[in-house]
Amino acid sequence: MGYGKTLTTIMTTMRPKGMPYQGPVWIIVPKTLVPHWEEQFSCFEPVDRPSVFVWTDKDMSARELAEAKDDFIIITPQYLERPVSGMARRHSTSPIRLWQTNCVFDIECWTSLGLHFPFAIFDEVHGAKNPDAIINRASAALDARAKLLVSGTPMKNRVFDAFGILKILPGCPFATENAFLRVLSVNPKARGPPKLRLRRLAQILDACTIVCPHEALNLPDLVEHTVEAELLDETVLDIAMIAHQFHRLAVISGGGRRRRPQNTGHGAALSYATRERLMATSPIFNRPSPSQEKDMRSTRERFEEWCTEKGHDKLTIARNPDLLQVGDVDEEDEVIGPDDANLNDNPRRARNRQLWLSHLDTEWEKELDWFVEP
């Protein structure tokens, strides 16, 4: 997603120069993302690049991995789910059986070799949010000194997803779902579905979150480039469609305050041009419903009046955005102000965060009817 999660995780878990080898850092990542992690490691200079091993041989033993002294070992969740055959070692005192037993994830094997697991990284951890899933139990059983849970997907649908994710961390404050409810419930002794203190839950999650500021990554600012290209009619239509959808989304999500509609530049006019071009090529689309036809007729009339007033050709206007200086939006739409574009210091975002917390308090408790036993 470009947020720097992988790079931040690598920099956090790298072994400093001169520090003796203590054990591997496990990276549990879906198979499709293994090349991405390998690419991130390849960006380091050879003298600073940590050693990385992608484990694909299920017959390798803990001793072989320990002797390799790789800084990072990348595995897929399927390897972590495999049953560990270290139970046989616990019933034998023979040192020969110790080395022959395949106990790759058994911390006692590594401790006998003088090593441990400094970190365990779980990428796309939202895939293990179900506390009853095998991958969740296997992730929680991996005995690492610290665990980093990486995900670009927000929690949704279930409050208990938070418990499933927190359960993976070492020292999770909630032993069971009942303990999770007792700690966060407003009135634990009340009958029926409990009402959760979701602000307290948000504080717990915030305390477990690593925040990576923009300055820490030293990322360059965005640079706009203007490129001239001769595009096909189909390509222009696709671009205009995207511009129209983005414009409508930005206008509608502009905040809670109401303001008088105002000019928004050629973006709004381009949206009307897009609609007109779609109408001109309507045979290639499905026939709209009667209500949609009525709305399109109204839009077409407004658009034709605008083109007549400005002297533009309605069928070619999408190819000439430089001619479009003025556009309007529907009265029910909200217009984005210039101050709303600042993502780092935006009062509207602060209000939205507060509204989000209020929304949690009033809406999220309803889902407990599905997951709490009477």
How many CB atoms sit inside 10 A of residue 320's CB? 12
Give the separation between CA 72 and CA 27, rounded to whole angstroms: 7
Q: What percent of the chain has pLDDT over 90?
A: 14
pLDDT band at 87 (very low <50, low <70, confident <90, very high): very low
Three-state DSSP string of the chain: CCCCHHHHHHHHHCCCCCCCCCCCEEEECCHHHHHHHHHHHHCCCCCCCCCEEECCCCCCCHHHHHHHCCCEEEECHHHHHCCCCCHHHHCCCCHHHHHHCCCCCCHHHHHHCCCCCCEEEEECHHHHCCCCCHHHHHHHHCCCCEEEEECCCCCCCCCHHHHHHHCCCCCCCCCCHHHHHHHHECCCCCCCCCCECHHHHHHHHHHCCCCCCHHHHCCCCCCCCCCCCCCCHHHHHHHHHHHHHHHHHHHHCCCCCCCCCCCCCHHHHHHHHHHHHHHHCHHHCCCCCHHHHHHHHHHHHHHHHHHHHHCCCCCCHHHCHHHCCCCCCCCCCCCCCHHHHCCCCCHHHHHHHHHHHHHHHHHHHHHHHHHCCC
Q: What percent of the chain has pLDDT over 70?
A: 48
Task: Name which residue leads in pLDDT, 224 or 135.
Answer: 135
Residue with tokens 């390509």: 235
Give the separation between CA 128 and CA 217, rounded to whole angstroms: 28
Task: Name which residue leads in pLDDT, 293 or 170.
Answer: 170
Most confident range, picked from 117-126, 204-213, 306-315, 341-350: 117-126
pLDDT band at 5 (very low <50, low <70, confident <90, very high): confident
Chain-centroid distance, C-alpha 89: 40
356: closest CA among 209, 236, 256? 256
Beta-ladder partners of 26 = 73, 120
Give me the pLDDT at residue 203, please: 77
pLDDT in tens, 31-41: 999 999 999 99
Predicted TM-score (pTM) of the model is 0.54
> What CA–CA distances, in Å, run from 100 to 57, 95, 96, 104, 254?
16, 9, 6, 11, 63
Mean pLDDT value across residues 153-178: 78
Pick the CATH number of 5-217 from 3.30.70.890, 3.40.50.1980, 3.40.50.10810, 3.40.50.620: 3.40.50.10810
* Residue 370 pLDDT exceeds 50: no
Give me the pLDDT at residue 352, please: 52
* Residue 119 pLDDT exceeds 90: yes
pLDDT in tens, 183-222: 887 777 777 666 778 778 777 777 777 665 555 555 556 5
Residue 63: phi, psi to the nearest 5? -65, -40
pLDDT band at 225 (very low <50, low <70, confident <90, very high): low
Task: Name which residue leads in pLDDT, 81 or 334.
Answer: 81
Task: Name which residue leads in pLDDT, 177 or 277.
Answer: 177
pLDDT band at 241 (very low <50, low <70, confident <90, very high): low
Give me the pLDDT at residue 290, please: 62
Give the separation between CA 193 and CA 38, rounded to whole angstroms: 46
Domain residue spans in the chain? 5-217, 233-334
Task: Name which residue leads in pLDDT, 257 or 154.
Answer: 154
* Residue 94 pLDDT exceeds 70: no
